[in-house]
Structure 1
Amino acid sequence: MTYELLIALVAFAFVSSMTPGPNNLMLMASGANFGFRRSVPHMLGVGIGFSVMVLLVGVGLVQVFDAYPVSYTILKTVSVLYLGWLAWKIANAAPPDATKAPGHPMTFLQAALFQWVNPKAWAMALTSIAAYAPAKTVPAILLVALVFAMTSITSTSSWTLIGQQMRRLLTNPMRLRVFNWTMAILLVASLKPVIFP
């Protein structure tokens, strides 16, 4: 990979990781509801889970979609249903001091597995492999995955910190409910390109 192509890859990974999408919206909601420290497994699950996804897509997983086009439709349907369920959970998250049983942030494994039903993650993985590792050599695929792993540190930390800082404004249960419903609506809105391509 040339130096110019590497710079382009880093820019693509940074911009695509930092822009709003299901992962970042859920991390912001997690930071607001549970704080930064409790959200660390969620953050690591996003970064590592997506890097593993890039590796597997790069070594040929995408060929499954070419061989069985119905599998792509199934993936889209499962993604929409799962994200709808997550949006409902976010919208109805209890305040930290509520008398109801407290919720808990997404675990490492849940966040890592979530990448496989995250439409934005699929788009990023497919685009990055096609654009920056077109020959699909193992070193090029590993480099793409490594760049995404490194940029995820910035994006996951930033979005979780934004949520944690917003927590100060969300001490009122009504404001927290409005925030959670707003995050849920934005999460559902992020599905528009999947539902209406």
Structure 2
Amino acid sequence: MDYITAIVLFAIVSAVTPGPNNITVMASGANFGIRKSLPVFLGICIGFAIMLLLFGIGFGQIFEKFPVLHLMVKLFGTLYLLYLAYLIATAAELSTANTQAKPLSFMHGVLFQWLNGKAWVVATGAIAAFTTVGADFYTQNFIIAFIFLIFSFPCVGIWLFFGSMLKTLLKSRQHRIMFNYAMSGLLVMSVIPVVIELTVIFINK
């Protein structure tokens, strides 16, 4: 299979399948609409491309040399994802209260990538699978990040659009709360494997 085609297929499958990024974007679209959700949507798409570039220039090796740092990122990442799950679960209640709920910002989307277990797996897999040491490594790394950047927009955008469509169907407060609880639950479920891994690590220490 052609090199570029292989990366494109990997990028599409990775970006369009369910995960913390897409769940968060869909929930934001359902609660705030497309326009107000654009900052976090752009932050996610651009943030992951930046993450890929940084992985390629050595961040992956740093975490291999200092596993404690990797462990700390996983720990704080898990806590942050659980906090996002809480924000999603309470979005409908906050939006009907005196304090208006606010959508996540661009920087939330960017920083979210470093705390997202799926993003770590995809970034590590992409760099390992589609780069060759000594064969113009940095050019390959740039190509991978650029392809992911291009295809993240339509793939993640599908979830944002779907969420905004649901907004018209979730006009009642009760339906909105049920939807947000479901999205929050999915986000928590995506964190469970990391929680189990961290638990095993701390038990064995």
Same fold (TM over 0.5): yes
1:92-103 correspondence to structure 2 within 5 Å: 92-94=90-92, 98-103=96-101
- Aligned equivalent of 1:194: 194
**Over aligned residues, Cα RMSD in angstroms?**
1.5
- Aligned equivalent of 1:78: 76
3-state SS of paired residue (1:191): helix
- Aligned equivalent of 1:27: 25
3-state SS of paired residue (1:41): helix
- Aligned equivalent of 2:123: 125
Measured in 2, the distance between the counterparts of 1:100 and 1:93 equals: 12
- Aligned equivalent of 2:179: 179
- State the Cα deviation string for residues 8-47 of structure 1 (Å, max 9, x = none): 1100100010011111000000000000011111111011
- Aligned equivalent of 2:156: 156
- Aligned equivalent of 1:145: 145
Q: What are structure 1's unaligned runs of at least 5 residues? A: none
- Aligned equivalent of 1:9: 7
Give 1:193 deviation, angstroms: 2.7
Measured in 2, the distance between the counterparts of 1:166 and 1:94 equals: 14
Larger relative helix fraction: 2
Measured in 2, the distance between the counterparts of 1:52 and 1:40 equals: 18
Q: What are structure 2's unaligned runs of at least 5 residues? A: 198-205
AA matched with 2:68: V
Give 1:160 deviation, angstroms: 0.6
Measured in 1, the distance between the counterparts of 2:161 and 2:44 equals: 15
Q: Is the 8 A contact 2:26 2:164 kept in 1?
A: yes
Instruction: Tell me which stretches of 4 or more aligned residues in structure 1 moved more than 6 Å.
Output: none
Measured in 2, the distance between the counterparts of 1:194 and 1:158 equals: 27
Percentage of matched positions with identical amino acids = 39
AA matched with 1:143: I
- State the Cα deviation string for residues 156-195 of structure 1 (Å, max 9, x = none): 2111111000111110100000000000000010113322
Distance 1:134 1:195, change over 3 A: farther
3-state SS of paired residue (2:13): helix
- Aligned equivalent of 1:110: 108
Give 1:95 deviation, angstroms: 5.7
